[in-house]
Amino acid sequence: MLPLHHELHFTFRFADDRIIPRFHLEGLDSGQRVAVFKIDALTGERLGLLTNATVGENGWVDLPKPIVVRAGDAFIAVPE
């Protein structure tokens, strides 16, 4: 069965302030590139590119520089 809706990106939303040095992406192969964008948490509008990174072993993405997020912030990781 095919789902009616399938996102082509991964969305991360935060209730608390955090420093994000890495995150996990399920189902992506090691070596795949991703672009990470800050988004408006309510509308999903892209607000700007935060960084580019590469998926590592077991789907972990180690960021070149940690992302600082505040409560209510959100970002997306878009496979290239």
In the predicted model, what is the mean pLDDT of residues 35-49? Answer: 95
Span between the terminal Cα atoms of the chain, in Å = 25
pLDDT of residue 7: 61
Q: Select the more confidently predicted residue: 34 or 3.
A: 34
Q: What SS3 state is found at 3?
A: coil
pLDDT of residue 2: 53
In the predicted model, what is the mean pLDDT of residues 43-48? Answer: 95
How far does Cα 56 stand from its chain's mean position? 14
Beta-strand relationship, 18-24 and 74-79: unpaired
CA torsion sign for 41, 53, 60, 8 is positive
DSSP for residue 55: B
pLDDT of residue 67: 95
Tokens of 16: 């608390």
pLDDT of residue 4: 55
